[in-house]
Structure 1
C-alpha cells in the first residue's frame, strides 16, 4: 500500500544554539570554564611531577603543563564547538569596521601598556625556552578567551537581537567574571576583585578594537601580546607591576589605569539602540546589523 505524500513545506530541526539567548551565552562561558578547570586538574594529576609548585615559570615543563597545555586544549575545543554549532564562520568573518575616532583610545592605551611592559622587562632573566612557551601561552590565551567572549558570546548576544551597549557590557562582564576562578588557584580575594575590574575595562577595549577593525583577529592579536609582556615585566603570573620603578613602568601603570577608566566611560558613550538604528556615536544596533559584511 502506497503511503500518501505530504507536499507541504519541509522544515529541518533547528539546533539548540540556532535560537540565541542571553542564557545560552552565559551557559557557553560557564561550561567552558568548568571544562577548562577539569582539564587543568587532569593534566595536573598526570604530570604533577613536572610542575614546580613554588614557581610555575621556573622550567619549560612547568610552564607547558601548568599553563600552556590546558588553555591550548581549551582553545582547540572552542574552535571545534564553534564549528559544530555552525558559528565558526560567522565569528571569524571579515566585516566592515565602523565607529568613531574616540573608540581607538582604549585599544591604543592597551597597546601602550604592552610596549611599556616589553620595555620594562628584564629579558636577561629569561631562558629561550621560557620565552618561547610564554609567547605560546599568549597566543593560546588570546585565542581561547577572545573566542569564548568576543566570539561565541557576542555572536549569540547579537543573534538574540540585543543592543550594542548590552552586547559590549555583557560580553565584557562575562570575560571579567571568568577570572573569579583565580580564587581556586590561591590568589587573594582582593587581588581577584582588582583583576575583575581590570579585565572588564580590558574586555571593553577588546570589543571596541574588534568593532573598529571588523575582525576578531585584531582582538586576539592584541590580547595575545598583553599577557606575555605582563608576565615578563612582573616576573610572575598575576603579579603586580605598579610597584616597579622607572619610566617605562610608570608609563605602563598610567596607561593601564587610564584604559580601565576608559572602559567604564565607554559604557555610557556607546548608545543602546536596537538593530537597524544608528546612534550618535556611530554604532549600529545589536544583532547582525552591527557589522556589515
Structure 2
C-alpha cells in the first residue's frame, strides 16, 4: 500500500525564487572577491591571497545560504529526492570522478605547500556546499515546481556552468574560462547523477568539494604524471555522463505538487 505524506513548506517553490537566489549568490561572491582587490590569477601566490580572494566569499556565502534555506523551509527537498533513480549503474561516472580526484592528490607536489597555505586551501572545500546548495539544491527545487526533470537537469547544470564566467570579471583569461564552462557542464552532470542515484545532495557536495580541492592542489608546484591521467579520466567520465544522464531522468517523480506542500516520501 502506498501512502503519501505531505511536507508543509514555509514558502511555495517558484522558478523565479531559484533564479533570484542564483543571481544573488553570484553577485555576492563577485562583490566579496572583488573587494579583496586580489586578481583571480594571484590567489595561489600566498595563504593570505587565497583566503581573502576566495575563502572569505565562500564562508559568507555558506552562512547566508544556510539562513536562506531555513527561512524558505526547503531543507528536505533541497537535500533529498523523494525517490532514487531506478537505474543505479550510472553511479560509475561520479565514482570515476572521485578516482580521478584521488589521482590528482597523489600527483600533487605537497612539498610546495606551507601549513598556512594548506589551511587556507582547505577552506575551498566549502565550494561543495555553496555551489551544490544553489545549483543542485535550491535551483532544482524551484525548477521542479514547473518543469519536467529533463529540463531541471539541463537548466540547473547549464546555470552552474555559466556561473564560472564570473571569473573573467575577477581577472581570469576569457578563453580558458569559456573552456572551463564547457567542462563544468560535464562535471556538473556527474554531480546531478550522484544526487539522483543516491537520493541525496550530500554525496554530491562531498564529491564536488573533493574534486575542486584536488584540482587546486595539483596546480600548486609541479604535479606528477598521475595527475594528468586523472584529468583525462575525469573528462571522459563527465562527457559520458552527459550522454547517459537520460537513464537517471527516465521515470522520475520529483515534480513538486501544487500549493504550499509537496509529497515528501512514499512508503
User: Where on the TM-score scale, by shorter chain, does this alignment land: which range?
Assistant: 0.7 to 0.9
| 2:127 corresponds to 1:141 | yes
| 2:243 corresponds to 1:265 | yes
Question: Which piece of structure 1 moves more, 91-100 or 181-190?
Answer: 91-100
Distance 1:86 1:203, change over 3 A: same
User: Shift in Å at residue 268 of structure 1?
Assistant: 4.6
Retained in 2: the 8 A contact 1:165–1:267?
Answer: no
- SS where residue 97 of structure 1 aligns? coil
Aligned residue number for residue 230 of structure 2 = 252
How many residue pairs end up in the alignment? 253
| 2:26 corresponds to 1:33 | yes
| 2:61 corresponds to 1:74 | yes
Distance 1:267 1:101, change over 3 A: closer
TM-score for both structures, normalised by structure 1: 0.77
1:223 pairs with 199, 208, 212, which one? 208
1:20 pairs with 14, 26, 41, which one? 14
Aligned residue number for residue 7 of structure 1 = none
Distance 1:287 1:197, change over 3 A: same
Aligned-residue RMSD, C-alpha: 2.7
Aligned residue number for residue 73 of structure 2 = 86
Return 5+ residue gaps in structure 2 as ranges: 1-8, 258-262
Aligned residue number for residue 158 of structure 1 = 144
User: Shift in Å at residue 286 of structure 1?
Assistant: 4.0
Return 5+ residue gaps in structure 1 as ranges: 1-13, 272-278
- SS where residue 159 of structure 1 aligns? coil
- Distance of 2:104 and 2:65 partners within structure 1: 29
1:31-85 deviation digits (Å, cap 9, x = unpaired): 211122122233x1xxx5xx69873223322221111111110111111111112
1:241-274 deviation digits (Å, cap 9, x = unpaired): 9xx762x134212212212311321355455xxx
- SS where residue 43 of structure 2 aligns? coil
Retained in 2: the 8 A contact 1:52–1:59?
Answer: no
TM-score for both structures, normalised by structure 2: 0.84
Distance 1:41 1:188, change over 3 A: closer
Distance 1:249 1:24, change over 3 A: same
Q: Which has the larger radius of gyration?
A: 1
Distance 1:114 1:268, change over 3 A: same
Using CA pairs below 8 Å that are at least 6 residues apart, which structure has the higher relative contact order? 2
Retained in 2: the 8 A contact 1:95–1:291?
Answer: yes
